[in-house]
Amino acid sequence: MGGAEMMLYNLLSHIDRQEFQPNVISLGEGGVVDQMIRDLGIPIEGLDLGTGFSSIVGSVRLIKLLRSQSPDLVQTWMYHADFLAGLAVRLSTRLPVIWGVHSGSPIRDKHKKTTSLVIKACSLLASVVPKKIIVCSQSSADKHVGIGYPEEKLVYIGNGFDIERFHHDARAGQTLRTGIGVDQSAPVVGMVARFHPVKGHQFFIDIAKKIKHLQPDAHFLLCGDQIDQANARLSQWIESARLGGFVHLLGQRSDMRAVYSAMNVAVLCSTSEAFPMVVGESMACETPCVVSDVGDAALIAGDPRLICSDRLVSMFSEKIGQLLDMEKSDLEVLRRSCRRRVVEHFSLDKVARRYEQVYRDVSGLKPAASDAAT
């Protein structure tokens, strides 16, 4: 599951259900997040929208669903939904539409060709389809204005973090370490990310090789989709770096509090991001996260000791090494300040209230029972 999908779930779990009655329509097949949303007691319909004829059938069904539900507004979440659902709504109803942007860059060459075409179409429709466009990243907002998104429609709302769910859990972290055979006193550096070129897993292995030279007892955790022994390319990078037995591939996990709590230092070394959830999640668990200066990663991290202005193995390894060598008292101060920053600036409750205010402004409704289809 990606950060954007998780943020949708987070928002739905914290939205005021006395005032808003959300219904979710998923363009794709049902997945883990779909079931999590159902577990919140929120209705969700899956269109399994494919290509060709199935996409036409799905679009017709979408229009019928919207007409039957009669929401007060429609919030779309990502590019394909912005385009398909946004256009379907405007052509068939008079409902106000709010687009969502959860990508770090609309122009990077890592997008699939079809996604690039959808982004281009969105840039042409942005002035006429949505009433507002919520962007989760300040840097992303600037880039979208550069391709034609109207600046006056953009509303910046950074992602939020569930500070009740994400907090340091020493026992859970110790249990995870024991389960993978890592000594409780060993320094552990980790990264949480799906396997994708922009996430920089090979770069992380290069960092790990450097750290291992400086800290011979160090271990490394990797967690995310396709992060397992079946990933031949990742396994080859690890073996080539002579790190076999020291890099632990955890795959996808649901116990993320334990994963972050097992680390001494977290890393985000992506080449592109919008508002990376893993930075705030790790910091909420009192695990400092060393980041590349992409998207809003530096904004979340805040502390210059955690920010790499240049994406260099030497810079990452130096900053990580400094954290691992910190005096215990100084490290405790830093750990507490990491969590305090998330609580004060990026708590999910505050973010949910900002979304709710945009919904009121766009729908024209005062605080009362109103519906929102997402």
Per-residue pLDDT tens for 136-193? 988 889 899 999 999 999 999 999 999 999 999 999 999 999 999 999 999 999 999 9
Domains of the chain plus CATH, in order, are 3-160+347-373 (3.40.50.2000), 170-345 (3.40.50.2000)
Per-residue pLDDT tens for 363-373? 987 765 455 55
pTM of the model: 0.81
> Which tokens in the block code for residue 237?
């990078």
Cβ-contact 194, 304 below 8 angstroms: no
Distances 82 to 62, 78, 99, 112, 133 between C-alpha atoms, Å: 13, 6, 6, 17, 10
Per-residue pLDDT tens for 49-86? 765 445 556 678 888 888 888 899 999 999 989 998 88
Largest Cα–Cα separation, the chain:
64
pLDDT of the residue at 135? 95
CA distance 320 to 264: 9
| Range of weakest confidence among 39-53, 113-127, 221-235, 282-296 | 39-53
CA distance 311 to 165: 31
Task: Tell me the one-letter amino acid at 299.
Answer: L
Cβ-contact 3, 278 below 8 angstroms: yes
Cβ-contact 217, 187 below 8 angstroms: yes
pLDDT of the residue at 317? 98
Cβ-contact 69, 371 below 8 angstroms: yes
pLDDT of the residue at 33? 82
DSSP tag of 195: S
Tally of CA atoms within 13 A in the half-sphere of 38 that contains its CB: 10
Q: Tell me the average pLDDT of the chain.
A: 91
- Give all strands (DSSP E) within 210-326, no chain letters: 219-223, 247-249, 265-268, 289-292, 307-308
> Which tokens in the block code for residue 16?
């005021």
Per-residue pLDDT tens for 10-37? 999 999 999 999 999 988 766 778 888 9
Q: Report the pLDDT averaged over residues 87-101.
A: 88
